[in-house]
Amino acid sequence: MTRRLRWTVALLGAGLCATGWGQPAAPVKVGLIAPLSGGSSDLGQSMRHAAELAVKEINAVGGYLGRPLELVVRDDQSDPQQGRQAAQELVQQEKVAFTLGFCDTEVTMQVLEIFQSQRHVLMVPCDQGTAVMARPPAGGGYVFRLAPPDELTARVLVGEIVDRRKLRKVAVLADRTAHGDSGLKDLGEELAQRELKPVYVARFDRGVKSLAEEMRQARAAGSEALIVWARAPDQATALRARSELRWAVPYFAPPTLASRKALEGAGAAALEGAVMTQTVHLDAANERRATFLTSYFAHSGEKRIGSLTVAAQTYDAVYLLMSGLFQSRSPEGGEPLKRALENLEKPHRGVVTTYERPYTARDHEAYSINMLWLSVWRGGEVQFLYPIDAQRASVIRRKEF
């Protein structure tokens, strides 16, 4: 931890003590539900490692007013029923103060009512499905997100393809999940604003073995650009099919394309030149970011991070939630934590950005479109698409209202 970070956490609890002399402090339980196995496991494991790191750092400087944090973890296996069971266990049995969770939109949508009905704060640092936050309950509800929604990703990608590159014939391949539904809807709306529609659309099941026929049909439709909306393993399947056809069509995708499983499944050659959005990059221009990366790799033991974006967002989410907990002076979370998050009094200098009033009572989305970068695979590494962005990497992009 940096000296600044140690002081930030220590000052939050200065002058207060949660236990008497000689009595062990009861832990404050923190819940985490993620796909630790299955096709989204690279995202889930990044969530887990980042949350563990944040909890370890906070405990090293006193935890919550002398009480250690205890991370209670569940694997949802990208399955809605598993996710629902895990949510009920953490909220109703484990009595965690708050929960971080979910990468798969179909899982998230199945559990939202549990957190709302129990007045329990859920922070979503991974799932980007627009529908997750599309119809908030009266008062804003108890669900907060620290990840850019799909609608922002769609705006950035279509803006790059149509507005900047002047390509008008766009093909879309999307998996048959709520995640794919979300992407297809958002992309369709962005294209419609430009009086366009996809020249070809294909849906496919997760874990599909080949997408060669879909690629042939997309090429036959005269596609000038291809957008694939899917998890990393299926991104790899699409990339291999494009490579086998020797079709050099520009390839675009959401942040899942930057995951380790995409590289492992497709190989660097097939990935070369593929473009995606990101909120953070592997770079040393930002001291806070460099410190996080060093600590993350030391903690996880990984040689290559599963998803830098998800790890950074999860790490920041833990600290934001703890800021809210300290401000509310309520270790049980619930309504006091919700109100604190909607009115955070102090900015937090995180890995992705500096969060200054990221939420309000009417807005539980932490990111705005200016906070997304366009990235590209080059030589087996994710880099800034445009050199000017690399030069500006040290400039903090903050939420616009």
pLDDT by residue (tens digit) across 268-282? 999 999 999 999 987
Contact call for residues 310 and 43 (beta carbons, < 8 A): yes
Please count the other Cβ atoms lying within 10 Å of the Cβ belonging to residue 360.
Answer: 14
Q: Are 75 and 44 in contact (CB under 8 A)?
A: yes
Supply 271's token pair: 């990935």
Domain carrying residue 298: 3-14+26-147+282-367
Do residues 274 and 295 both lie within one domain? no
DSSP assignment of 59-102 equals HHTTTBTTBPEEEEEEE-TT-HHHHHHHHHIIIIII--SEEEE-
Number of other CB atoms surrounding residue 163 within 10 Å? 10
Q: For residue 19, tell me if it sits in a domain.
A: no
- What tens digit of pLDDT does each residue of 233-243 get? 999 999 999 99
Query: Quick one: pLDDT band at residue 16, thresholds 50, 70, 90?
Result: very low
Q: Are residues 10 and 121 in the same domain?
A: yes
Structural domain contains residue 141: yes
Band (pLDDT 50/70/90 cuts) for residue 286 is: confident
Residue 10 pLDDT > 60: no
Same domain, yes or no: 273 and 382: yes
Would the CA dihedral through 221, 224, 228, 232 be positive or negative? positive
Mean predicted confidence (pLDDT) in 263-270: 96
CA atoms within 13 A on the CB side of 164: 10
Residue 400 lies in a domain: no
My answer on whether 173 and 264 are in the same domain is: yes
Q: Evaluate whether residue 205 is within a structural domain.
A: yes
Q: What is the pLDDT of residues 314-343, one digit of tens each?
A: 999 999 999 999 999 989 899 999 999 999
Asked if the structure places residue 7 within a domain, the reply is: yes
Is residue 7 located within the same domain as residue 76?
yes
Residues 304 and 254 in one domain: no
Mean pLDDT of 19-42: 84
Give the chain's length: 401
Pair (339, 356) in one structural domain: yes
Hey, CA dihedral for 376, 379, 382, 387, is it positive or negative? negative
Give the whole-angstrom CA distance, residue 330 versus residue 327. 8
Calpha distance 393→358 (Å, rounded): 21
Q: For residues 40-66, give the mean pLDDT.
A: 96
User: What is the predicted pLDDT for the residue at 134?
Assistant: 82
Q: Decide if 83 contacts 342 (C-beta within 8 A).
A: no
- Return the CATH number at 171: 3.40.50.2300
List the single range of 13-17, 111-115, 364-368 with lowest mean pLDDT: 13-17
Please give the model's pTM, rounded to 2 decimal places: 0.91
User: Phi and psi dihedrals of 285, rounded to 5?
Assistant: -70, -30
Per the structure, how many domains does the chain have? Answer: 2
